[in-house]
Amino acid sequence: MFKQIAIIGTTASGKTDLAIQVALKTNAVILSLDSLCIYKEINIASAKPTSDEMRGVRHFGVDVISINDDFSAGKFFELYNEAKMHALNANCALIITGGSGFYLKAMLNGLSPDVPKCQDVPSNDEIFAMVCKIDPDFSQKFSQNDTYRLEKWYQIYSHTNQIPSLWLKQNTAKPIIDEIEIFEICWDVSKIRDRIAKRTQNMIKSGLIDEAKFLFSNFNNDLKPLKSIGLKECKEFLDEKISINELQTLITTHTAQLAKRQRTFNRSAFLNKKSANIDEIYKLSLEALKP
């Protein structure tokens, strides 16, 4: 019987290492749920598994495309289907892991169609006033400060001239994952901050600045991947706007802020997940994939 699990958690929570340990014990393959690991040219800033680690476990969703290529949740679905087909043919389990919980949620709930982005977007207050008047169901579910969802609502409304919550119900594709156990690695906030600070320090020592210099010299600086945490701060350093100490502080601070957003998202998006410390999640994962 085909088995699959998802291991989630904030950035720097140890998801990658744990997934590899579990995969080695259970002969499983791994699908990376990460929005940066897919790019061939980003290695240090993405905290990508090393070549030695990937040599021991078959990975999907790593080194798939170039920075110049477009990527979307729909294409991630294709990666999932590829990983699942391999696991079925090899009679092994599949472990999905990474920090991009949006992709996992989309696979569980179904993916809504892409709509064109608007050139001129009103403020959150203006959009929220429209939402309350036109789509009260939506206004009950999301905060006035949720810029991403408010702008998405506005894009749908502007493009379709229909009530977005109803339009989404009618046009969202069927889920591609029916059932999966989700395990969340939890750390005390102060400890995850310490782990982030240590990882940031190690990334800089490992050549993050040189990687950033190569990327900004060879690719359009306006590309979305180059605006990710770790690289955008390096751009400021390379432009001599901040010092090396400020670089480390800013990356650590911005990564900690990302971790907070990930905790909030995981709390609301995956209601049936099992949350525990990393040692307990290791045990639970092994038990779930036991033959």
Binding-site residue ranges for ATP: 9-16
Extract the annotated binding site for substrate: 11-16
- Cβ contact 79:104 at 8 Å: no
Q: Going by DSSP bridges, is the β-strand pair 274-276/181-185 parallel, antiparallel, or unpaired?
A: parallel
Q: Which two three-digit tokens encode residue 178?
A: 């029916």
Strand partners, 8: 184
Q: How far apart are CA 13 and CA 102, in angstroms?
A: 18
Residues whose CB falls within 8 Å of the CB of residue 135, separated by 6 or more in sequence, listed in order: 153, 157, 163, 164, 165
Q: Which two three-digit tokens encode residue 15?
A: 């998801």
Between the alpha carbon of residue 141 and those of residues 145, 158, 227, 260, 268, the distances in Å are 12, 20, 29, 20, 11
- To which residue do tokens 């919550």 refer? 165
Extract the annotated binding site: 9-16
Which residue type is seen at 214?
F
Q: How far apart are CA 203 and CA 199, in angstroms?
A: 6
